[in-house]
Amino acid sequence: INLEEEYDVIHVMQEGWRGRLLLVEHKRTRHEVVLKTIHKESTSKLEFFREFHYNYYLSPHINILNAYDVAFQAGDYYIFAQEYAPFGDLTSNLSETGLGEANVKKIAPQIVSALEFMHSKDLVHRNINMDNILVFNIDFSEVKLCDFGATRKAKSLLKRKTISLPYAPPEVVDTVQNESFYASTKQDVWQLGVLLYILLTGALPWQKADITDPRYLEYVQWKKRKTLKTPKRFSNFTARALKMFKRLLEPNPEKRSNVREVYKYLEDKWLVRPMKRQDSEIDNQSVCYSTYSIHSSKAEKDRVLFALKAHGIETTNHRNDKIVYIEI
């Protein structure tokens, strides 16, 4: 169809390497929606319809972004319609000390519920991060999981896909080029654990879940009881919170819990004390933001990049660059 004949473009919410996100108004119904446009050079028709299908199929859940029954081609783009999140994503809401324990405890059960629903359908999201959780109420009482481009059926054989390093579980990081691995709901559990850590602290637990990363090695040695000293980056968590993270961030996927584990700890205190800026700057690295998110504003990303640069932190340099990926 002709995009300009059907819709009035209110503004371009974000533009990235794969496509654009447009806030539009349908001319006939005057209904505002978001059009996710994906450039044909960055995806196949099969991949596009798979993402659209999963998003539409999962839309009935209250904590999954609604996709409308509208998908079409226009010029060089595949396009489908979604609902609009007025308060952006978690990336654009996060401070350098996190979101605060109370807010994280509002968010956590909503994301767990969405993932439970997906897992009950034998689907694995595979890309849980701050950019892919959208905020509908400023008090975080309503958030929704989005972006199902990486979603696959559990036990699907995967090969040579890209992953976000800080969130990737060790069994995926360990997969070398040309090797295959199977999609598993346990991969979502690990990513959920990393997400909760970031939201509570405003920092990454490690850059990658590999023993070549000193912070991850410190965590693994503590987890295996080779040392009794709690890792620096986990020192502000209560005993109950540490138990939760041990279950979610279990290096062995066969021993890793399911997402429902989080429910057991919602009534417990998680932080010993409220996070302070110096708590999130352990090892001089407080980077927890992606430099690319189709749901965050340009101004917000510029602010984040400026702050990181001022602290001497290396990033992928420009907001139009992709999030840090590795080939596997």
Question: Is pLDDT at 284 greater than 90 in this prediction?
Answer: no
Verify that 145 and 283 share a domain, yes or no. Answer: yes
Residues contacting residue 326 through CB under 8 Å, at least 6 positions apart = 162, 163, 165
Task: Supply 114's token pair.
Answer: 């969405």
Where among 39, 64, 82 does a domain terminate? 82
Q: What does the pLDDT look like over 216-260, one tens digit per residue? A: 999 999 998 888 889 999 999 999 999 999 999 999 999 999 999
Write phi, then psi, for 227 (nearest 5 degrees). -145, 145
Give the per-residue pLDDT at 282: 53
Count of domains forming the chain: 2
pLDDT band (50, 70, 90) for residue 279: low
Verify that 106 and 217 share a domain, yes or no. Answer: yes
The average pLDDT across 299-309 equals: 51
Query: What is the amino acid identity at position 178?
Result: N
Give the per-residue pLDDT at 287: 44
The C-alpha atoms of residue 295 and residue 275 are separated, in whole angstroms, by: 26
As to burial, measured by CB atoms within 10 angstroms (0-12 exposed, 13-18 middle, 19+ buried), residue 163 is: buried
The C-alpha atoms of residue 84 and residue 28 are separated, in whole angstroms, by: 18
Where among 82, 105, 136 does a domain terminate? 82
The C-alpha atoms of residue 119 and residue 225 are separated, in whole angstroms, by: 32
Q: What does the pLDDT look like over 87-131, one tens digit per residue? A: 999 999 999 999 999 999 999 999 999 999 999 999 999 999 999
The C-alpha atoms of residue 301 and residue 327 are separated, in whole angstroms, by: 25
User: For residue 160, what is the domain's CATH number?
Assistant: 1.10.510.10
Q: What does the pLDDT look like over 69-85, one tens digit per residue? A: 999 998 899 999 999 99
Question: Is pLDDT at 322 greater than 50 in this prediction?
Answer: no
Where among 30, 65, 82 does a domain terminate? 82
Q: How high does pLDDT run on average in the chain?
A: 85
Give the per-residue pLDDT at 281: 55
Verify that 133 and 101 share a domain, yes or no. Answer: yes
Verify that 137 and 20 share a domain, yes or no. Answer: no
Pair 33, 5: CB distance under 8 Å: no
Give the per-residue pLDDT at 221: 94
Verify that 70 and 98 share a domain, yes or no. Answer: no
Give the per-residue pLDDT at 225: 86
Verify that 77 and 102 share a domain, yes or no. Answer: no
Pair 171, 179: CB distance under 8 Å: no
pLDDT band (50, 70, 90) for residue 315: very low
Catalytic center residues: 127
Verify that 78 and 94 share a domain, yes or no. Answer: no
Question: Is pLDDT at 291 greater than 50 in this prediction?
Answer: no
Name the residue range of residue 242's domain: 90-327
Give the per-residue pLDDT at 16: 81
Q: Locate tokens 């640069």: which residue? A: 309
Question: Is pLDDT at 283 greater than 60 in this prediction?
Answer: no
The C-alpha atoms of residue 63 and residue 146 are separated, in whole angstroms, by: 9
Q: Give the single-character DSSP code of 282.
A: G
Give the per-residue pLDDT at 168: 92
How many helices (H) and strands (E) the chain has is answered by 9, 13
Q: What does the pLDDT look like over 122-179, one tens digit per residue? A: 999 999 999 999 999 999 999 999 999 999 999 999 875 666 789 999 999 988 766 8
Nearest to 299 by CA among 99, 14, 3: 14
Verify that 168 and 264 share a domain, yes or no. Answer: yes
Verify that 101 and 57 share a domain, yes or no. Answer: no
CA torsion 134-190-193-225 (nearest 10°) is: -170
User: For residue 66, what is the domain's CATH number?
Assistant: 3.30.200.20
Give the per-residue pLDDT at 197: 97
